[in-house]
Structure 1
Amino acid sequence: MPEKFGAPERAVLMVLMLANRTMPNTELNDQARLTKPGRIKLNKAGLVKTDETVKPMVHEITNEGIAWCLQDLVRGELPPRSTSHAKATFGLLKKFILHHEARGTLIEVIRSRDLESLIRSVYEDLAVEPQDWIRLARIRPRLNGAQKDEVDEALVKMMKTGTVHLAPESNTKVLTSEDHAAALRVGSEDLHLVAMEES
């Protein structure tokens, strides 16, 4: 049985697992209240990573946190007054988890997400205001390990909608090796910056 946490911490873990991205503290608290002692406990256990260098701070569930949640769902107990529908749903969920656990595909299933939605979500987390120009070098590391060619393909597709714009950095002297590696090559031009209109 995984280490026990109270209902608030369990709810936070589930919300972060379902979101499958970094989440600002203000957004998280709209769905599940994370207290400072709870945050410290989850960080110390290695289940959640919190970046306190930005305001508001942002949280992200780790693979260990996902594994904890899934074990809690399999071995945890429903509240005593749960309805028959809730019990049946919980039983089906356990079967799904055990099926993927046996095949070693649990984390892959949970981490999977529509790439375009993930790119937009990461952009929105980083942007200070709508249509802010954000470096691709800041976005790519937060896409759950998606391959560069996959991301490039998704970005080109998003550009064609007319709501996503990519541009080169005009001051090439400020470009880092990370910027060069993250650039999207279109024709003979390297694009380093992305701006998105509100969806």
Structure 2
Amino acid sequence: MSFSQLSAYEEIVGSGEIEELLALADKIKDVSVTHVNSTSTGGGVVEILRSLVPLFRLVGIPCRWEIIQGTDKFFRTTKLFHNLLQGLSLKEGEKITQDMLDEYRRVNDENMKKVDLASDVVIIHDPQPAALVRARGNNKWVWRCHIDLSSPDKKPGIFYILILDNTMRLFSPCRILFSLHLWLII
């Protein structure tokens, strides 16, 4: 069965749900959405976006998927952030260095010049592209964290990175937060 047409889903969810979905989508059909993550292959976020972006388009919502680029050092750094956020502790002798923070910001600054963030809503997936929020204008931003944040390592440095010099106004695991420019969904 091909799911390239919305009617293919009727057998699974029923025609009433499809009609409701189309009615809801019609209310926001002029709202453009951009999803941003750090890879086009492998992992759960990719699997979600491979399905979600076409579904947005099927219901008439303009939707794009942008992928940031990074260096090996950047990805090693963000893997450490990921592990700390997920509750692992730094290994003996391991630390977050200023050089790592600089590389994280530098790579995101480079991506700000390359990635098209001109849409009504920008959805950032996971920590790798989170610093792109510094490029926001008047559009709405969502940080969708796919990491288990129920017991993060509370090293101050990791939260500083995610707060991004107060660009993200609040950080609170396991809640939905609304601000003027950012919805943080965890």
Higher relative contact order (CA 8 A, sep 6+): 2
Q: TM-score, normalising length from structure 2?
A: 0.25
Q: TM-score, normalising length from structure 1?
A: 0.24
Is the helix fraction higher in 1 or 2? 1
**Over alpha carbons, which structure has the higher Rg?**
1
